[in-house]
Amino acid sequence: MPGVIPVFDGHNDAITREGAPDLSRRLPDGHLDLPRMREGGMRGGIFAIFTPSSGAASRQVRFPRGVHAEPLAPPVPCEHAAAHARVAAERLAALEKAGELVLARGIGDVDAAFDGSTPPVAVLHLEGAEAIDPGLESLADWHARGLRSLGPVWSRANAFATGVQFAFPSSPDIGPGLTDRGEALLTACAELGILVDLSHMNEAGFWDVARMDLGRPLVASHSGAHAISAASRNLTDPQIDAIGASDGLVGIVFATAFLRPDFADDPETPIALIAEHARYVADRIGVEHVALGSDFDGATVPAELGGADGLPRLLQALRDAGFNEEELLAVCWRNWRRVLAAWWR
């Protein structure tokens, strides 16, 4: 009988769900709350703060079936994003104060959550750096607040870079790369110990980051393999190879539109497709570079999975795809632990 394998999930949008629900109780809808995490063996994760563009009521994006392209979302002013992000960060702080979770400030907090002897660990993440002023004066304050992970862009442009628009099918080679301010932001993140996440970065920006040689692993927290699903948000084989060469990781996304060859935003998608993307990346660059990055509460996920409480079903799908118990422990926890420690050193 397989043992219990703790899960660290590389991306969720639960704290910026519309209506700001109380994650300490089991919710009637959505994918993730603390009771569901306990039921599914999820003992840690990266909790994203996302500020919607004007007119967008929530983070979750619904995609029509088939070939199409969504325009880049409108930019968000720094002042608006900063105010929105501070409120969302306070939700995590309140959960920590109540003893419901631990906000990670160092790798010891991640290690302590591994065996379930402490509350789950949450890594504070900005999905899109609009809350950081272009002069970076607020970055140290955010670090002091607990920020330990940052995606320079969502799927829109800002002062630092341009995100990749949602296009099906399409390569991620859409738009310009890092700006000078973007390079300064990434350098400052490396100095402070804030992981840089390349999911939502277009291809030009990805290679700009790789060329910077920050001495840290390349990380895409919630992406899939472009060879299986040719969506713009997924990683090409050369990008996957570069991540492996840097000792980084790909957090396999659960979003159905990025899993399926036909891009259908369909909850009837089998969870075996998540395992297929994981198997593809593992076969190409090694199991040590594969992890999980669900996008819970930010996308349509397979109904067969449901939410965080359904993670044991995903682990079985990974076993069925040929991952043994030691490899599952790496995919579910140890690989995220390694790259977090490398960025936070």
| Spatial separation of the C-alpha atoms in residues 2 and 324, rounded to whole Å | 10
pLDDT, tens digit (0-9, with 9 covering 90-100), for 200-235: 999 999 999 999 989 999 999 999 999 999 999 999
According to CATH, what is the number of the domain 7-344? 3.20.20.140
Side chain identity at residue 169, one-letter code = P
User: How far is the CA of 15 from the CAs of 31, 33, 60, 222, 334, in angstroms?
Assistant: 12, 9, 12, 17, 25
pLDDT, tens digit (0-9, with 9 covering 90-100), for 92-121: 999 999 999 999 999 999 999 998 889 999
Model-level pTM? 0.96
Tracing tokens 């795809």 back to the chain, one arrives at 321
pLDDT, tens digit (0-9, with 9 covering 90-100), for 178-195: 999 999 999 999 999 999
